Structure 1
């Protein structure tokens, strides 16, 4: 089969042996594979990623000297089964798969390990247990977006954001846009999107953002100045606390501390902030968020920063900022995401901004490093 191999940061199309399914495994003909931001990072920063991953026991992450076929976002059609599989789906059935496969006795991350071949190829090997049918006549092309949408679904679930809270999405690349879609699917009524690119701000609007901000002209944090619920200045909050506690203590026969706790349970505590989704992954952005965001903000870090970064902890302490780092998703979230797509609850089509063949992947990688008009580029191995 033909596949795109990454070796020493270079991408080239090569002829490789067709994958052979082992027990409980399935070979798919790849329909589409998405180019992920983590693939762009891994091309040049694989060694750093491998070192960090090995610290938690993930020892098979690719290094720059490895010859690796990347591609972990994909859809396909069933081609053949290995021994011991249930053969639930007929040959040619459109499917997606949770991107992990057992190789040499251990589970490997498809597209990020030298021990298994990713989906920038004509075929890919997957686990039967991780196989999901793409039903309802859903587009096999858009089904390839299940994986990045699952990343966003996981991030939004981890945030525990309520419908009445404000979300701020910093960075409207593919994952930022996916987060916006999942926030709106959750019923969040006010979503602010911030990006320097006019094209990406337009995509954010298509994904349902209620307000878009060009940070070069208007800070996303300026929208909270004078906000009745979220505060950027601690002084009025202290004044409010003084007056409120004074008034509560005048109420006879009712412990004022219980009234304060009851207000918290009712969602009326003044100690509330918005939920910020950092979807850039560039040094300095997290510190910028901490410095500018309102008090009591919850920050969900979705962007993958591959370099050391610095924050100012005392600012986060003074504001009581909460930081939540998120990674990937679990199989149930992946399956739930597919159902949201095929049922029409979420429409990821605004993310799809281009399709290339295997021979154009290298150029697409270069373009995605700077192209503002692109969000998600899909690879068609048959083109």
Structure 2
């Protein structure tokens, strides 16, 4: 079958071996496959990525000496099934799949392991247990966004954002746009988005951001005090003394009991934003620690492949809550598909282009310097050699 291979950082259209589904697996005809930012990272930094994943116990990410078929954001049609595979999902059904595949007794990352070729191909394998039928007549193009939208939903859930909290999204590439969409789908009332690119700021607004700022002109935290966020240590000290003055005057009620109840309900922590770092460039985390209001929660979603530095003492003095997220759960994946199908998340603006196999290298170049493009899909039947709407 035809596929796009990556070998030593070079992308090429090639003939590769046909795939044969194993027990519990489905063979899918690829209808669309998204080009992910992690694909761009892997092409340029696969050896560093392999070293990194090896440190956490996964040794099968491809290296520059390997030839791999990338692609983990796919929507396909079932064309065959392996032995001892149930028929709950019928042939001809359009599906999306959580990109993990069991081969040779081990589970592999689809599109990042030579043992689990990805969706930059005419066909791809999927585990039936991780595969979901596309519901409600959802378009194939939007269904292919299930995986990146699941990344956004997982980040939002890990951020534990309440509807009344302010969410700040720094970086409005595909990951940031997914976070914005899922914040609004989750009912968060105020989402501030920040990006240097005018094109990406426009996409952020189209995806539902309530306020969009150019960080070259203004900080996304300029309105912090309007939202009741504390920006100076003196405010915290004054709040502590004032609160204790009031509590110690309460008749009959021990002040420590009131404080304990406030801690249980979350009222003891001053109002603060939840900030999503979706850039993945060295220095950004420290910039956020420096500029964010006190007690902010920073959720790191952007993947930085280089060493970075922060000032722990500053984060300590501001009591910054720093969280890192990876991927998503099967529930996040399923819920993202249904949020898309139910029209509860604005995802159409994320889709900015389509190419055929012959245009994948051009799409990588375009996304590497993206201003107006966010998500480019591969259509295996297309002859387009440059991204087109």
| 1:132-143 to 2 correspondences below 5 Å | 132-143=132-143
In structure 2, what is the equivalent of residue 338 of structure 1?
337
Contact 2:208 2:346 in 1 (8 A): no
In structure 2, what is the equivalent of residue 314 of structure 1?
313
Contact 2:147 2:333 in 1 (8 A): yes
Q: CA separation of 1:256/1:228 partners in 2, compared to 1, >3 Å: closer, same or farther?
A: farther
Most deviating of 188-197 and 84-93: 84-93
In structure 2, what is the equivalent of residue 196 of structure 1?
196
Q: Distance in 1 between matches of 2:373 and 2:254?
A: 58
Q: Distance in 1 between matches of 2:111 and 2:261?
A: 50
| C-alpha deviation, 1:228, in angstroms | 5.3
| 1:1-383 to 2 correspondences below 5 Å | 1-224=1-224, 226-227=225-226, 229-269=228-268, 271-383=270-382
**3-state SS of the aligned residue for 1:361?**
helix
Contact 1:229 1:270 in 2 (8 A): no
Under a length normalisation based on structure 1, what TM-score does the superposition of the two structures give? 0.97
Contact 1:272 1:295 in 2 (8 A): no
Contact 1:29 1:78 in 2 (8 A): yes
Q: Distance in 2 between matches of 1:109 and 1:243?
A: 54
Contact 1:29 1:123 in 2 (8 A): yes
Q: Distance in 2 between matches of 1:38 and 1:251?
A: 56
Q: Distance in 1 between matches of 2:196 and 2:340?
A: 29
**Where in structure 1 are there 5+ consecutive unaligned residues?**
none
Q: Distance in 2 between matches of 1:228 and 1:345?
A: 26
Under a length normalisation based on structure 2, what TM-score does the superposition of the two structures give? 0.96
Q: CA separation of 1:76/1:228 partners in 2, compared to 1, >3 Å: closer, same or farther?
A: closer
Moved beyond 6 Å, runs of 4+: none
In structure 1, what is the equivalent of residue 385 of structure 2?
none
- Count of residues in correspondence between the two structures: 382
